[in-house]
Amino acid sequence: MIPPIALIGFGEAGSTFARAAGWRGAAWAFDIRAERAAVADELGVNFTDRAANALAGAELVLSLVTADAALQVADDYARYARPGALWCDMNSVAPETKRATAKIVEACGARYVDVAVLAPVEPARMAVPLLLSGPAAAAAADALAAAGFTNLRVVGDEIGRASAIKMIRSVMVKGIEALTAEMMLAATRAGVVDEVLASLDASERAQPWPRRAAYNIERMVTHGARRAAEMEESAKTLAALGVEPLMTRATVQRQREQAGHPIPLTTIAQGTGA
């Protein structure tokens, strides 16, 4: 049976989950962007512009906002959560940010859960890999399974452990995207795109580099601003571990600068169909 759900933020992730799982009347969505009410109405999800309305009866709260808003959202709205509600923080932020958020949520009487989302919600949808940590992680895993999520793993009872895995992994995943853009910008200006990609392709055959380059750059163009905010949290994670995040800070800048700015290369376009 689907538990009563509150979605704080009804963007791509929230609407994708609601559509795939068929939550309809079991879910309430709160978002500051009023235009998202139309999608909620299409999916049969109750939409409100007041967080208190969404949180009043929810047993399961999914916080799905941007990295830079995650802490503030809890500070603003956790007071409206019912006692004992499971507040699943699914935002891509540093362990320190999750622990600070947990203090706010738990002071309001709800149970905080650190949730790391390890893949894009499309096309995975309800099979997207989720790591959970915190004292209430096991209870949250049961509630999320009842809500339709199928790929759940509890990684410990320490808040911040799940996000540490995600943030440190992101150093590689988002860093490769940023390095790809830098490489392709330089190759374009030097007029050596085909030769550079061919040399990489010759040394690593798992996926043709024209396709990989196109994919990495498209991710940055489409999601660069959000990814830059996430990488700022990765930098915090490394700094807290005593590791100077030199490349990670540079990745923040490259992701932000590339957002909305595609690299118009015929070679890349052709490579996507290879």
Q: What's residue 266's pLDDT?
A: 52
- 188 & 142 share domain: no
On whether both 221 and 147 belong to a single domain, the answer is no
Residue 158 pLDDT more than 90? yes
> 28-82: per-residue pLDDT in tens?
999 999 999 999 999 999 999 999 999 999 999 999 999 999 999 999 999 999 9
pLDDT digits (tens, 9 = 90+) for 99-116: 999 999 999 999 999 999
Could you list the residue range(s) of the whole structural domain that residue 51 is in?
Answer: 5-159
Q: Which of 159, 174, 191 is the last residue of a domain?
A: 159
- Asked if 12 and 127 sit in the same domain, the reply is yes
What is the number of structural domains in the chain?
A: 2
Q: Among residues 113, 143, 159, which one ends one of the domains?
A: 159
Residues 46 and 86 in one domain: yes
Asked whether residue 115 falls in the same domain as residue 193, the answer is no
Residues 76 and 174 in one domain: no
Instruction: Give the global pTM.
Output: 0.80
User: Locate tokens 């791509």: which residue?
Assistant: 12
- How many other C-beta atoms can be found within 10 angstroms of the C-beta atom of residue 221? 15
| Same domain membership, residue 249 and residue 150 | no
Judgement on whether residues 27 and 154 belong to the same structural domain of the protein: yes
Q: What is the pLDDT of residue 79?
A: 97
Domain final position from 140, 159, 178: 159
The two tokens of residue 33 are: 């962007």
pLDDT in tens, 228-260: 999 898 889 888 888 888 888 999 999 999 888
Predicted local confidence at residue 121, as pLDDT: 94
Query: Do 230 and 122 have their domain in common?
Result: no
Q: Tokens for 87? A: 């507040």
Strand order in the sheet with 27-30: 46-48, 27-30, 5-8, 60-63, 86-89, 111-117, 130-133, 152-156
Domain of residue 262, CATH code: 1.10.1040.10
Q: Residues 235, 258: one domain?
A: yes
